[in-house]
Amino acid sequence: MERVYVLPASAFPPAQAKLMPLEAPLLRKIGLEGFFLERAQAEEDPTHRQVIPYALVRHGGRYLLMRRTKGGGEARLHNLYTLGVGGHINPQDHRGPEANPLLDGLRRELLEEVGIRRYTAEPVGLIVMSDTPVSRVHAGVVFLVEAEDEPRVVETEKLEGRLASLEEVCAAYERLEGWSRVVVDWLRGQRGLE
């Protein structure tokens, strides 16, 4: 059984459909006070949120834009685009007193999903939404990742990917998943494109 890293839902600010500031006390709390639940339980338990490191990958001034293919598991996501590289934090990401489950989970996901070993990562915000049953039990910690390695999709049976300019990403807005739309709205604000 897969176990995933969670925090009580009460630890997070109220849900909003925008990228929220990631306050230092919450970032510390995520690293120190999270714990593991069986994934099946966590998916149905709105009193906890599963913490997802969610990386916006930039390489050479362009962003990694991926499309979910029909080979992926969740039919509702087929043909939708995503900017996020990330996933659940598992027990392997939390070993020893010096472990940082958030950063270790991010490192593992970047390597597994897009083959990135060399990068810098800056936490830029928090996604807490409640618009769907899935979003009610997840919280995303968004990182802007500057990749030294050119990203390449590893799971090609599930995803297709390419580097795209912000303008190209914005053109795909209506076909983006919810969290990716939140990230694009933030990017537009950063670039003064609102």
pLDDT in tens, 79-133: 899 999 999 999 998 776 677 899 999 999 999 999 999 999 999 999 999 998 8
- The label of the residue with tokens 């849900």 reads 15
- Confidence band, pLDDT 50/70/90 cuts, at residue 194: low
Residue 180 and residue 23: Cα distance in Å, rounded?
Answer: 21
pLDDT value of residue 159: 93
Residue 128 and residue 14: Cα distance in Å, rounded?
Answer: 7
Contact of 73 with 127, CB cutoff 8 Å: no
Identity at 147, one-letter amino acid code: A
Compare 77 and 144 and report the one with higher pLDDT: 144
Superfamily classification of domain 3-191: Nucleoside Triphosphate Pyrophosphohydrolase (3.90.79.10)
Token reading at 153: 């999709």
pTM of the model: 0.93
Token reading at 175: 């076909």
Residue 146 confidence (pLDDT) above 90: yes
